[in-house]
Amino acid sequence: AAEPQCQTAADVIRVAEDAEALIVLYAPITHEVFAALPHLRIISLPLVGVDAVDLEAAREHGVWVAYVPDACVPEVGVHAVAMALALVRHLPFYDRAVREGRWDYEEPGVLRRPTHLTFGLLGCGRIARQAGASAAPSFGRVLAYDPYVPAENWPDGIERAPNIETLFRDSDVISLHAPIVAETRHIVDTALLARMKPGSYLVNAARGGLVDPGALLNALDSGQLAGAALDVFEPEPPDMNDPLLHHARVMVTPHAAYYSVEGDEEGRGRAVHNIIDFARCGRPNDFVVAGTK
């Protein structure tokens, strides 16, 4: 039988005792893992997100951390826009209502034409730009805020919001595309959600920790938000008693935005090539931590 995937740090330590290289998807690579694997020289992820790895511990132990910086960009961008359009057109509500025997297109409330709406992006990196390009034909305006992108690198076709407050105030749909770091944890809080137009929408296909779940629930219950689409939670999988899972105005997918057969094959292949490059040349092609081993 195939070895089951590692779920915990203890699993990794058990199966990788003599490993010099690891390919990691979601298993946590903690300080304890680095301390227990003295031969480890490189960790390679088939993803852009590296939050499964304790990067400070990697630096401390001289281990390279490689990644795929443009992994799954088309998939996540399209998934976010698909979720946004599904919310705007009330598709999850209609599907559920018809299956329950109700046939009334007016029941969920106002339907808006997307070309009259503003699609907002929190972040303007690779995935956000893909989402913006995918949203542009359907929405009337694409607006983004990202303080880390200099003016000369700002993409055509996406307006730049001067600050995060303006982004949330002016957008009818907000799609989150920021990394999870100390300053972005729960960045979407009660104050920021209160700036949104009543009846607007939130999409999160980035990281669950970007959103304060209590603030989101209150915004949905009050009608400040007409709906939310969540591909990510914190933790994952979520507690099945999480009220957001059972809320009538929330659609969920199981952290599936990144996935396609083609994207999975490409990401895994490039993760392997990062290790091959390291073996041949002493360094991987794409990395976030430069090791010393």
Per-residue pLDDT of 132-187, as tens digits, reads 999 999 999 999 999 999 999 999 999 999 999 999 999 999 999 999 999 999 99
Same domain as 167, residue 268: no
Domain assignment of residue 177, yes or no? yes
**Residue 236 annotated to the active site:** yes
**Residue 207 annotated to the active site:** yes
Please check whether residue 76 is in contact with residue 253, taking contact to mean a CB–CB distance below 8 angstroms.
Answer: no
Residues of the chain with pLDDT > 70: what percent? 99
Note if the pTM is more than 0.95: no
pLDDT of res. 213 = 98
Give me the domain span that covers residue 138. Answer: 73-252
Same domain as 24, residue 158: no
Q: Which of 126, 177, 207, 270 is catalytic?
A: 207
Q: Which of 255, 268, 273, 283 is catalytic?
A: 255
Average pLDDT, the chain: 96
Same domain as 247, residue 129: yes
Same domain as 95, residue 13: no
Tens-place pLDDT, residues 65-76: 999 999 999 999
**Residue 241, pLDDT above cutoff 70:** yes
Same domain as 215, residue 187: yes
pLDDT of res. 1 = 39
Same domain as 18, residue 41: yes
Domain assignment of residue 64, yes or no? yes
Domain assignment of residue 62, yes or no? yes
Same domain as 266, residue 172: no
Same domain as 248, residue 270: no
How many domains does the chain divide into?
Answer: 2
Same domain as 77, residue 58: no
Angle between helices 73-88 and 91-99 (to 10 degrees): 60
Domain assignment of residue 2, yes or no? no
Residue 4 banded pLDDT, cuts 50, 70, 90: low
Same domain as 137, residue 36: no
Domain assignment of residue 165, yes or no? yes
Query: Which residues, at least 6 apart from 77, have a Cβ–Cβ distance to it below 8 Å?
Result: 127, 128, 129, 130, 131, 132, 133, 134
What mean pLDDT comes out for the span 34-63? 96
Domain assignment of residue 4, yes or no? no
